[in-house]
Structure formats: structure tokens, C-alpha cells
């Protein structure tokens, strides 16, 4: 079976339907060639318990009748080294080069590499630039020596993290050793009541598989500087020792002390704390972590005006999450989050809050936390927001009556007492004094007498003596939410099509200056946006960036939308649409802001919607699309 046939079979192994056109696009061949290859594949695998089914109008499907028979065939034909694999696309070559260079201990000449891959030296050089960028994230560099070629240089700890990053998913496919490692890890963790999340568990199994492979090739992790303090005294160390002993027995290798500590480091970085269950040791939240959480909640308040600073439950969740995270940061370990896209779409406000909160950690630890790590914090903020939904935002009331001062005070007391869960402040006055009131501080006017002057607040006429019906009516008013549409945040004059800029800085400078003038914002707004950009990336994916200021500076919440005719580099992504978000400097209702962020995120993550936006660059079409999404997902 040739390389292209194996590629097709690998694609179909997802057990989904693929058309000939879809397969042709993925293997870079014509549809006629694909159909001929499918016939050959079918003839090849039919005697081995499988076949290719074709469904008119739907596509081709891999139908496995005898799992055992087919798996035996795959093991025999897909064994490593059974046939030299030649990558055909740039993405495949980058993967190949990473594996080849990491597994090669000596220098390799570029001429030999280009000849073996059947590509030009120029193409190889371009692919190596991408390889170099990827390796840089793991402190691994390419060393070049004239007449010798190139080789990699980096610490073994970093090398293993790098291998896990580029080959994690692929290792799980039909790998018996991985299954055996997973079974051993699961049993030991269960016996020791050591809790990790599903993603952390998968990650741990991958790292153990890589560790075993590297040990078999005599590559060991040295005792790193700044190792876990007194590892023998840590709970994770004893679990690591048990795991190592069972792996030694199964794979007939020996784990040196350094390697056991390496496993302990991974366990410490993946621990999940439960508030009501003991896991064998005390959860120590240091003053450093407590101070970091305080700063994180302050930063969220500065921008979003959501006050979580006294939310003890959120503080504890964030603090407990920071304990293993600080280990991961210390050893440059990154934990993937399989729910990243779902978090961005379904909990966009929480995710954006988390993005802002982790800038504190980025500054403190001098790192840049990945989107995967940010998404774990988003869960904590999502829970806190849900709790806020059940809280009633208390209202401030002006009570107007014509009776004497004593009667007015009595009426004021009655309302305060009857609606203490709904009213924060209530002040009594007569009609003649109404014009002196600062209406911006109040939500409603309750009155026992007719009001003939014009006032900017809703008026509820009430009786002096509160009956059951009056109480019900007043509660309805106090619990009512104002009517809201997400389109209120997107004004026509803040929609900027056909922007022609070459750099991210040019785009931000223009858009910030534009909103400064239109919305009368302070001049430091631009610097505030740049400061936020330096702390964490704002590229949202899907050709979209969502920058915002470091802290709230506006009297209203709005979005300035800029559409570029040509993409610009925005960190590691190319961007065509920029959504500059400005949050109002006032306390928000959870429901409104959550609704805005959720709908905006759904729009930004939709490839179809963004393609339409950058193609048409039309405000009315954008608002129609946003309105349709809002109608489909009402508040």
C-alpha cells in the first residue's frame, strides 16, 4: 500500500463519510485518482475484515466487520519503519522534521535532508524556519556548524515537553503501550485518592509514554535546578514511586531517582483539589498566591466593574487552581484544554475576564499563559457569574408624598422594611423638592401623589397603605430588567470598513484615536489598549482580534468594528476583523454583559459569518446577521 492510500485510510479511520472531493483536497490529488485509489484500498483490506462503502450523495465510509482481524492487519502494515514515510505538505514536513531532528543525536546536512524528502533546499529552509519558531517555545535551538549541518540543542525536560506538544494526539491512535500505561496510572491514582481532570490524566499518560521511550534510548532527565522542595516528603513523590515500580515491571526498564521526581513534578502540576475531600495532604495556599488572587480580582473589577473581590468561594477556587499551576509555570509545562473552543463560545464573558485576570500572573511570573490555561480559569469565573445571576441587584428609590415629615419618614420606613431585599437606598421628598434631586443616583420614583414635572426616571404610583396587591406590583417593578439588545453596542458610526493598514500598531492607533474623538475618551485610552496588548494576546482566532483597554474608561459600553482589506500580523495570527471593545466604567448587570459577550463570541467563531463580514464590509448586513443570532438565542 503506497503513501497516498495510507493517507486516505488514515482519514477514513475517523469513521465518518468523506466525498472524493474532500479526500482529493486533503491528499492533493485529482478526484479520479482518489476513486481509483479507493478501489485499490478496498481490494487490499477486504480479506482483512474491512471494506470501503460508498453512499450516493454522502461519500465514502470505512466499514469494519471484524475488528480483531483488521487491527492485526493495521499493526502489520503500519509498524514503524515498515515503509519509509515521505511527507507531502509543508505541515507534514514540519512534523517529520521535528521528529527526525529530536531523534537524531548527531549533525545532519541540509543537502541530505532535502534529497531524502525530494524537495528543494529553498523549500526545506522555509520549513525549518517554522520548525525553529516552534522549538523556540521550548527553549530548544537549532545549532548550525559549517560542513557538518544542523542539530538540536536543549534540555531533556524541555525536549520531552516539546515531543508531547507536537505528537500528543497521534500517540493515542491504536497504541497498546499507551493503553497499558493508562491502566497502570488509573489504578495507582484511584488507590491513592489522587484526583486529576480528564485532560490532565491524558496528558500525564502521554508524558509517561515519552519518558519510557526516551529512557529506552538512554536519554534521562537530569536533576533540574529549583527542583520540588524535599521531594521525598511530598505526597506526589510516593505516588510517582508506585507508578514507576509498576512501569518498570511491565516495560523491563529502570527508572532512576531523577525520573521518579520528573513524574512527581507532573503529578504536582496536574493535581485537582476538592474542597470537601482529603487527598492525603494539606492544601497550602501561600501569602504569595493569596496576593495574586486579590490582584486578579482587582484587575477584573478595573475593566469589567464586576465586583468579585468579596466572593470567598471564587477566591478559594482560584487559589487552589494556582497551587498546581505555579508548578507548571515553574517547569514550563502546559496543560491542554479540550474544551477551549466551547469555553470561548459558551462562556465568552468568563473567558475574557480570565484573559484579563491572568495578566497579573503573566507579569508576576514573567510568562505568557496559553489559551488552554486561561480557559481553566474561565470555569471559575463562569461559576461566580452564575451565582451573581441569583443575586438581586438592589435599587435606589425616590419616594414622593404630600404628607408631613413624620408621615413621610413612616412611609419610608414601611417600604424599606417591606422590600429590604430589593431596596438599597430610599429617600423621601415632596413634589416641590423633586427638581433638586440627583436623578443619576436613582432607579425609580414611587409616588403617592400625581407628578406633573418632567423627570428622567420611571414612575410608579403607590398607595400610602400597602396592601397585598401593592406589594406584588412593587416587587415586579424592583425585579424587572431593562429591555436590551446586543445591537445597542454596535453603532453605525463605529463601523469602519475597508481599512488599509500594514501593521497591528497602525490599526490600533487609528481605531483608538477614532473612538477617543467620537466618544470623548481620555487620550490615555490608546496607551491603555497597548498596555493590555503587551500583557496577553487578543487574537480571538478565525481572522478576528478583540482588543480592549487595560481598565474601564468610558461612560458607556460599545464596540468599534474595523474591517481590513488585507490581513495584518497580530501576534501569531493573521487578522481581517478587529472588534475594539470598550467597557463602561460602572457596575454592570451580569445578564446583559454575558448576553453581549456570548452572542459576540458566537459571531466571531463562525467562519461563515466572518467570511461574509470581511467580504461585504457592510454595517446593515452585519446588524442583520447579529439580530438573527439574537433571535435564535434570546436573553
* pLDDT reading at 422 higher than 90: no
pLDDT digit string (tens) for 444-455?
A: 888 888 887 888
State the average pLDDT over residues 159-175.
74
- Lowest-confidence region among 79-88, 164-173, 426-435, 496-505: 79-88
Report how far residue 51's alpha carbon sits from residue 49's, in angstroms, rounded to the nearest whole number.
7
More confidently predicted of 304 and 280: 304
Amino acid 465: pLDDT = 58
Q: How confident is the model at residue 278 (pLDDT cuts 50, 70, 90)?
A: very low
DSSP letters for 65-78: S-HHHHHHHHHHHS
Percent of the chain with pLDDT over 90: 29
Task: Report the alpha-carbon angle 334-340-341, nearest 5.
Answer: 150
Percent of the chain with pLDDT over 70: 86
Amino acid 296: pLDDT = 95
Report how far residue 533's alpha carbon sits from residue 580's, in angstroms, rounded to the nearest whole number.
12
CATH architecture of 90-154: Orthogonal Bundle (1.10)
Amino acid 549: pLDDT = 93
List Cβ neighbours of 480 (8 Å cut-off, separation of 6 or more).
Answer: none
Amino acid 521: pLDDT = 94
Amino acid 223: pLDDT = 65
| Topology of the domain comprising 161-268 | PTS-regulatory domain, PRD (1.10.1790)
Report how far residue 325's alpha carbon sits from residue 337's, in angstroms, rounded to the nearest whole number.
13
* pLDDT reading at 334 higher than 70: yes
- Lowest-confidence region among 74-88, 132-146, 222-236, 329-343: 74-88
- Lowest-confidence region among 119-133, 300-314, 445-459, 477-491: 477-491
More confidently predicted of 181 and 75: 181
* Chain mean position to CA 510: 28
* pLDDT reading at 588 higher than 70: no
* pLDDT reading at 601 higher than 80: yes
Q: Report phi then psi at 211, rounded to 5.
A: -60, -45
Across the chain, mean pLDDT equals: 83
Q: How confident is the model at residue 361 (pLDDT cuts 50, 70, 90)?
A: very high
* pLDDT reading at 471 higher than 70: no
By the 8 A CB rule, do 271 and 194 touch? yes
Amino acid 71: pLDDT = 79
Q: Which residues in the chain are classed under CATH 1.10.1790?
A: 161-268
Q: How confident is the model at residue 1 (pLDDT cuts 50, 70, 90)?
A: low
Report how far residue 551's alpha carbon sits from residue 556's, in angstroms, rounded to the nearest whole number.
13
Amino acid 492: pLDDT = 94
CATH number of 486-632: 3.40.930.10
- Per DSSP bridges, beta strands 395-400 and 444-447 are parallel
Q: Which residues in the chain are classed under CATH 1.10.10.10?
A: 3-77, 90-154
| Topology of the domain comprising 395-479 | Rossmann fold (3.40.50)
Amino acid 88: pLDDT = 72
Report how far residue 443's alpha carbon sits from residue 461's, in angstroms, rounded to the nearest whole number.
15
State the average pLDDT over residues 176-185.
89
Q: Is-above-0.95 flag for pTM?
A: no
Q: Which residues in the chain are classed under CATH 3.40.930.10?
A: 486-632
* pLDDT reading at 274 higher than 50: no
Amino acid 545: pLDDT = 94
Amino acid 231: pLDDT = 66
State the average pLDDT over residues 411-421.
76
Q: How confident is the model at residue 152 (pLDDT cuts 50, 70, 90)?
A: very high
By the 8 A CB rule, do 446 and 460 touch? yes
Amino acid 276: pLDDT = 38
Residue 587, classed as helix, strand or coil, is: coil
Report how far residue 442's alpha carbon sits from residue 426's, in angstroms, rounded to the nearest whole number.
9
* pLDDT reading at 270 higher than 90: no
Amino acid 97: pLDDT = 92
CATH number of 3-77: 1.10.10.10
The number of residues in the chain equals 635
Q: How far apart are the first and last CA of the chain?
A: 55
Q: Which residues in the chain are classed under CATH 3.40.50.2300?
A: 395-479
State the average pLDDT over residues 431-441.
84
State the average pLDDT over residues 566-593.
84
pLDDT digit string (tens) for 337-358?
A: 778 888 887 788 889 999 999 9
Residue 341 C-alpha cell reads as: 473552543
Q: What is the dihedral of CA 23, 28, 33, 36, to 10 degrees?
A: -40
Amino acid 320: pLDDT = 81
More confidently predicted of 76 and 70: 70
pLDDT digit string (tens) for 211-265?
A: 998 888 888 888 655 555 566 777 888 999 999 999 999 988 899 888 998 888 8
More confidently predicted of 536 and 249: 249
Listed residue (225, 233, 231) closest to 264, CA to CA: 231
Amino acid at each position: 500500500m503506497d503513501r497516498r492510500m495510507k493517507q486516505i485510510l488514515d482519514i477514513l479511520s475517523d469513521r465518518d463519510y468523506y466525498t472524493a472531493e474532500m479526500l482529493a483536497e486533503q491528499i492533493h490529488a485529482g478526484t479520479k485518482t482518489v476513486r481509483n485509489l479507493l478501489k485499490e484500498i478496498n481490494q487490499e483490506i477486504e480479506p482483512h475484515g474491512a471494506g470501503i462503502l460508498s453512499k450516493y450523495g454522502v461519500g465514502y465510509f470505512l466499514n469494519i466487520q471484524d475488528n480483531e482481524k483488521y487491527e492485526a492487519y493495521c499493526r502489520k502494515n503500519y509498524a514503524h519503519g515498515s515503509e519509509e514515510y515521505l511527507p507531502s505538505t509543508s505541515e507534514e514536513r514540519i512534523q517529520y522534521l521535528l521528529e527526525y531532528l529530536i531523534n537524531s543525536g548527531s549533525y545532519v546536512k541540509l543537502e541530505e535532508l532535502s534529497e531524502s524528502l525530494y524537495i528543494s533546499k529553498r523549500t526545506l529552509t522555509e520549513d525549518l524556519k517554522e520548525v525553529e519558531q516552534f522549538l523556540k517555545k521550548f527553549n530548544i535551538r537549532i545549532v548550525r556548524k559549517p560542513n557538518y549541518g544542523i542539530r538540536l540543542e536543549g534540555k531533556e525536560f524541555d525536549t520531552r515537553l516539546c515531543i508531547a506538544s507536537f505528537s500528543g494526539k497521534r500517540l493515542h491512535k491504536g497504541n497498546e503501550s499507551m493503553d497499558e500505561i493508562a491502566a497502570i496510572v488509573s489504578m495507582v491514582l484511584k488507590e491513592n485518592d489522587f484526583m486529576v481532570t480528564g485532560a490532565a490524566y491524558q496528558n500525564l499518560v502521554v508524558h509517561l509514554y515519552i519518558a519510557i521511550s526516551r529512557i529506552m534510548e538512554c536519554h534521562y532527565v537530569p536533576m533540574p535546578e529549583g527542583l520540588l522542595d524535599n521531594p521525598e516528603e511530598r505526597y506526589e513523590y510516593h505516588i510517582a514511586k508506585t507508578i514507576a515500580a509498576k512501569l518498570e515491571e511491565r516495560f523491563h526498564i529502570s527508572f532512576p531517582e531523577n525520573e521518579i521526581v520528573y513524574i512527581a513534578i507532573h503529578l504536582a502540576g496536574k493535581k485537582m483539589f476538592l474542597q470537601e475531600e482529603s487527598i492525603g495532604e494539606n492544601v497550602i495556599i501561600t501569602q504569595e498566591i493569596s496576593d495574586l488572587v486579590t490582584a486578579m480580582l482587582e484587575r477584573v473589577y478595573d475593566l469589567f466593574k464586576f465586583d468579585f473581590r468579596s466572593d470567598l468561594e471564587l477566591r478559594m477556587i482560584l487559589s487552589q487552581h494556582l497551587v498546581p499551576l505555579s508548578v507548571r509555570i515553574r517547569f514550563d509545562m502546559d496543560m491542554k484544554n479540550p474544551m477551549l473552543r466551547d469555553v470561548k463560545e459558551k462562556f465568552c464573558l468568563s473567558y475574557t475576564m480570565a484573559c484579563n485576570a491572568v495578566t497579573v500572573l503573566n507579569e508576576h511570573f514573567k510568562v505568557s499563559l496559553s489559551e488552554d490555561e486561561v480557559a481553566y480559569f474561565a470555569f471559575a469565573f463562569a461559576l461566580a457569574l452564575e451565582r451573581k445571576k441569583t443575586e438581586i441587584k438592589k435599587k435606589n428609590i425616590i419616594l414622593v408624598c404630600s404628607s408631613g415629615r413624620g408621615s413621610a419618614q413612616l412611609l419610608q420606613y414601611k417600604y424599606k422594611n417591606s422590600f429590604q431585599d430589593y431596596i438599597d437606598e430610599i429617600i423621601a421628598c415632596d413634589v416641590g423638592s423633586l427638581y433638586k434631586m440627583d436623578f443619576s443616583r436613582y432607579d425609580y420614583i414611587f409616588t403617592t401623589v400625581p407628578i406633573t414635572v418632567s423627570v428622567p426616571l420611571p414612575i410608579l404610583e403607590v398607595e400610602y397603605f400597602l396592601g397585598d396587591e401593592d406589594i406584588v406590583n412593587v416587587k415586579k417593578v424592583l425585579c424587572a430588567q431593562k429591555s436590551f439588545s446586543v445591537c445597542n453596542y454596535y453603532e453605525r458610526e463605529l463601523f469602519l470598513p475597508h481599512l488599509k493598514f500594514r501593521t497591528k500598531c497602525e490599526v490600533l492607533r487609528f481605531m483608538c484615536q477614532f473612538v477617543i474623538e467620537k466618544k470623548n475618551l481620555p487620550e490615555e485610552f490608546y496607551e491603555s489598549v497597548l498596555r493590555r496588548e503587551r500583557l496577553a494576546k487578543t487574537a480571538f482566532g478565525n481572522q478576528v482580534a478583540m482588543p480592549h483597554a487595560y481598565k474601564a474608561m468610558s461612560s458607556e459600553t460599545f464596540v468599534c468594528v474595523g474591517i481590513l482589506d488585507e490581513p495584518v500580523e497580530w501576534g501569531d495570527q493573521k487578522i481581517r476583523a478587529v472588534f475594539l471593545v470598550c467597557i463602561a466604567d460602572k457596575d454592570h448587570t451580569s445578564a446583559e454583559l454575558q448576553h453581549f459577550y456570548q452572542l459576540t463570541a458566537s459571531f466571531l467563531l463562525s467562519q461563515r459569518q466572518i467570511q461574509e463580514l470581511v467580504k461585504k464590509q457592510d454595517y446593515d448586513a452585519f446588524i442583520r446577521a447579529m439580530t438573527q443570532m439574537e433571535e435564535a438565542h434570546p436573553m
